[in-house]
Amino acid sequence: MTEPKNLKKAERVEFILNRLQELYPEPPIPLDHKDPYTLLVAVLLSAQCTDERVNQVTPHLWKLADNPHDMAKVPVEDIQAIIRPCGLSPQKARAISKLSQILIDDYQGEVPDDINELEKLPGVGHKTASVVMSQAFGQPAFPVDTHIHRLAQRWGLTNGKNVTQTEKDLKRLFPKSAWNALHLQIIYYGREHCSARRCDGTVCDICRTCYPARKRPKQVRKA
C-alpha cells in the first residue's frame, strides 16, 4: 500500500484558499460596530478578551459616547467602569480617552485611513491598526491573531518564530486581493474546526488533507 504524501506548499496554499472560500464565502466582521471609530475602540477592547465579551460591553459604552467628541468629555473612571469585563480596563480606558482627544486635535475627529498614523494612537498596535485598515477602510491587510499564528504553523506556511514573521510569510504566499477575507476565514476556521484543543495538526479537514502522512501532533509556538 502506498504511503500518503503530504502536499507541497503551493498545493497547500491553493487548497486552503479554496476550502476556506467554500466554508466562509462572505465572512462577517466579528466585532459589532457602525463606523471606523467604534470599530477602532472595539478592536482595542478585544486585546486579551473575546469578541463575544466585547460585543456585550460596547452597547453600554456607545450609550455613554460613540464618537471622539463625546468620548473625550467622559471621565476615564466612567469609561473604565463600563469596560471592566474586557480586562486591562485601566490601560484601555486611558487609551480610549487619549486617542479620542487626539482624533479631535489632529484628525478633525476622524479615524485616519493610514496604518502609520493609526499606530501612533495610544493603545493601537500593529494588529489593531491592520484590523481597522482592513475592516473599516477595505485596504489590504493581514492582521495575525493567535488563531492565525497557530494555524499557519500547523499548515506549514510559516516557522512561527513570531507574529511579525507569520504576517510576512502569509502576505508573500497569498494574493493581496484575498488578504482581507482570508484573515477572517482563518479565524473562523480556527475557532470552529482547528482550535488549540480540538485539533493538534492531525484532526481537522485542512490539516489532514495538507499533511496526510503526519503521524504526530504538530508543535506550535505561541504568539
d(CA 43, CA 58): 11
Cell of 150: 497557530
Distance of CA 97 to the CA centre of its chain: 23
Q: Helices then strands (H, E): number in the chain?
A: 12, 0
Q: Is 205 designated active site?
A: no
The identity of residue 156, as a single letter, is: G
Cα–Cα distance for residue pair 160/223, rounded to 1 Å: 8
Task: Kindly give the interhelix angle for 179-192 and 146-154, rounded to the nearest 10 degrees.
Answer: 80
Catalytic residue among 51, 145, 200, 205: 145
Tell me how far apart the alpha carbons of residues 166 and 222 are, in angstroms, rounded to a whole number: 12
Neighbours of 18 (CB within 10 A): 10
Q: Is 145 a catalytic residue?
A: yes
Query: Which residues are marked as active site?
Result: 127, 145
